[in-house]
Amino acid sequence: MDLSEPQVMGILNVTPDSFFAGSRSQTEEEIAVRCNQIVSEGASIIDIGACSTRPGSVPVSEAEEMERLRMALDIVRRELPYSVISVDTFRPDVARMVVEEFGVDIINDVGDDKSMFRMVARLGVPYILMSSKSTMREILLDFASDVQQLRDHGAKDIILDPGFGFGKSLEQNYEIMGELEKLQVMDLPILVGISRKSMIYKKFGFTANEALNGTTALNTIALIKGASILRVHDVREAVECVKIVKSLNGQIVK
C-alpha cells in the first residue's frame, strides 16, 4: 500500500459498548453488511476492534476479545478475502492470534505494553504506534524512544498515531492538531483518529451522533498537515476529504 497517497481506514467494532453506537456490529449479518459498506464507500483498510477503549470502559477479558475477533474475522475474510485488515488491540497474545490464524495485515495498538513491540516484530506486520502523551514535545520524545526500540527488535513498517482523546484534555487535543505537521520530522506515516470523539462533541455540548461535521473539518485539517491515514466511522465523507485535499495539491482525482 502506497501511503504517499492518503488512505481511509473504516471502523468495525464488534462490541456492545463502543462510544459511537453507529459503529457497533455484533451479529453475523451486521458484521457482513458493515465490512462491505466500508469497502464500497472507498476505504482501503478495515479496522476491527473487539474491546472498547472508550473513557471509563472496563476491558473485556482476553478470552472474550479473542472469541469476538474470531467470529468477526471469519466473516470478513469470507466476505472480502482480499481486504486489508487491521485489528485494534493492546494485547500481544491477541495480536499473535489474529495474525497467525487469520493473516491480519496490521496491528493497531492503543496500549502501553512494550512487550507488544517484540511481538509485532516477530510477526512481521505493520504496526500502528500510539502516544498518550499530552503535548507535541512529549509525543515526539515518546515516539523517538519507542520507534528506536521497535527497530532494535526488528520491526520495520511503523505508523504513528498521536492518540487524540487518549490522556489529553480537550484543549490539548486541539493544540496537538494545530502542531500535527511537526510529526513529519519522524519521516513515518501518520494516522489520525478523531472520528466523532469527545474533543468535537463536548466542545459544542452535543453527542457523538451529531459530530460528523466537526469530524469532517478536522479530517481535512489533518490531511493538509500531512496525515497518511484517516481512521473513521463515516467512510464516504472521509474519502471526499481526501479527494478535496488532493485537488488542492494539484493531484489528479478519480
- Which positions are catalytic? 197, 231
- Kindly give, in sequence order, each residue whose CB lies less than 8 Å from that of residue 219, ignoring residues fewer than 6 positions away: 192, 194, 195, 227, 230, 232, 237, 238, 241
Q: DSSP 3-state assignment of 83?
A: coil
Q: What's the order of all strands across the beta sheet hosting 127-130?
A: 158-161, 127-130, 106-109, 84-88, 45-49, 7-13, 229-232, 191-192
DSSP assigned state of 184: G
Residue 75 identity: I
DSSP letters, 186-230, are G-S-BEE--TT-HHHHHHHT--GGG-HHHHHHHHHHHHHTT-SEE
Bridge-partner residues for 84, per DSSP? 45
How many CB atoms lie under 10 A from the CB of residue 93? 13
- The sign of the dihedral angle between the CA atoms of 162, 163, 164, 167 is negative
Apex CA 5: angle with CA 160 and CA 123, to 5°? 45
Give the Å distances, CA to CA, from 115 to 92, 109, 225.
7, 11, 31
Shortest CA distance to 149 belongs to which of 192, 94, 201, 112? 112
**Could you give the CA distance from residue 131 to residue 62 in angstroms, rounded to a whole number?**
22
